[in-house]
């Protein structure tokens, strides 16, 4: 159970790090290359579901998130959140103002508008931590996320996914099935089931599928790079066999009227939101 002393400790540490974070953010803004998204990349996104860019947060931004995540995770792990709130979203939101400001940067929101071909976007879903660790709490044999999809083929969304640790082949890398966002979900699910049965490891049809698809792409994600993709593409992870952490952070932009999955978590962990500017409330789906 998280105590008020635990939260006070984090808040005090946050206060003592303000100068360091301010310096890091200033350095990030001063030294990082401008974010440029080409028409070829956008075409690849709409056709295959993803492309990669140099990490737009830069080394300074990753340092901020890395330090904060290490401090927050022990408290987050013991803390209970209201029903319906995504735990990895809550961990992201616990980082605080510095992370909100990073993903609000105009060059990021402009890139999202350009990719989605829309005039306005809002941030409707976020996440920080190790999804394979959270999902494997159900007792599955291996630390691995099954094939699944987050959103229908019609869903308009773009997610920026950055690794805090290198996700190589032994550290449960993300696996995506290019172009699968354009296919009927039942068709892809049936195909994945047959590939799973072909492994010869089941006595009956399984509920979860992990088998490799001949057309999948295994994304070895390094903190130097960011995956820009649509979670409407079918995806899974490899098996985690390496020691050490496997952390990632992500945030998703949607057009007006799009998903607001983490709205209640945002209001719960940032109770001062009514005092935000109208533009900022709109960017977070609050207006």
Q: Where are the alpha helices (DSSP H) in the chain?
A: 4-16, 18-31, 39-48, 58-78, 87-94, 97-103, 106-116, 131-135, 185-197, 263-269, 278-283
pLDDT at 265 over 80: yes
Answer yes or no: pTM beyond 0.75: yes
pLDDT at 18 over 80: no
pLDDT tens digits along 46-86: 999 999 999 999 999 999 999 999 999 999 999 999 999 99
CATH number of 4-283: 2.60.120.620
DSSP state of 15: H
Q: For residues 157 and 255, give the distance between their C-alpha atoms in angstroms, rounded to a whole number.
A: 7
Please state which of the ranges 37-51, 133-147, 183-197 shows the lowest mean pLDDT. 133-147
Residue of 247, 239, 200, 190 whose CA lies nearest to 222: 247
pLDDT for position 16: 40
CA 51 to chain centre: 15
Cβ pair 166, 223 in contact under 8 A: yes
pLDDT tens digits along 202-238: 999 999 999 999 999 999 999 999 999 999 999 999 9
Q: Kindly state the average pLDDT of the residues 171-185.
A: 96
Residue ranges of the domains in the chain? 4-283
Distances from the Cα of 93 to the Cα of 86, 179, 187, 239, 266, angstroms: 11, 31, 36, 27, 7
pLDDT for position 264: 98
The three-class DSSP label of residue 39 is: helix
């Amino acid at each position: 159970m998280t105590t008020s002393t635990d939260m006070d400790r984090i808040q005090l540490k946050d206060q003592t790090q303000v100068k360091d974070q301010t310096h890091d953010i200033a350095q990030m803004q001063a030294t990082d290359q401008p974010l440029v998204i080409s028409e070829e990349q956008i075409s690849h996104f709409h056709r295959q579901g993803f492309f990669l860019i140099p990490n737009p947060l830069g080394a300074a931004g990753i340092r901020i998130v890395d330090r904060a995540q290490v401090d927050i995770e022990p408290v987050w792990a013991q803390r209970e959140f209201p029903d319906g709130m995504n735990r990895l979203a809550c961990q992201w939101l616990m980082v605080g103002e510095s992370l909100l400001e990073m993903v609000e940067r105009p060059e990021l929101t402009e890139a999202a508008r350009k990719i989605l071909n829309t005039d306005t976007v809002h941030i409707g879903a976020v996440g920080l931590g190790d999804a394979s660790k959270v999902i494997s709490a159900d007792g599955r044999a291996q630390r691995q996320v099954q094939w699944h999809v987050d959103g229908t083929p019609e869903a308009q969304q773009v997610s920026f996914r950055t690794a805090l640790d290198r996700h190589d082949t032994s550290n449960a890398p993300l696996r995506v099935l290019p172009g699968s966002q354009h296919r009927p979900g039942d068709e892809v699910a049936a195909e994945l089931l047959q590939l799973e049965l072909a492994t010869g490891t089941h006595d009956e049809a399984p509920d979860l599928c992990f088998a490799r698809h001949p057309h999948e792409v295994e994304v070895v994600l390094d903190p130097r790079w960011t995956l820009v993709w649509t979670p409407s593409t079918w995806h899974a992870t490899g098996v985690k066999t390496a020691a050490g952490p496997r952390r990632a952070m992500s945030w998703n932009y949607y057009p007006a009227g799009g998903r607001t999955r983490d709205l209640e978590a945002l209001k719960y962990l940032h109770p001062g939101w009514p005092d935000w500017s109208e533009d900022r409330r709109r960017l977070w789906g609050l207006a």
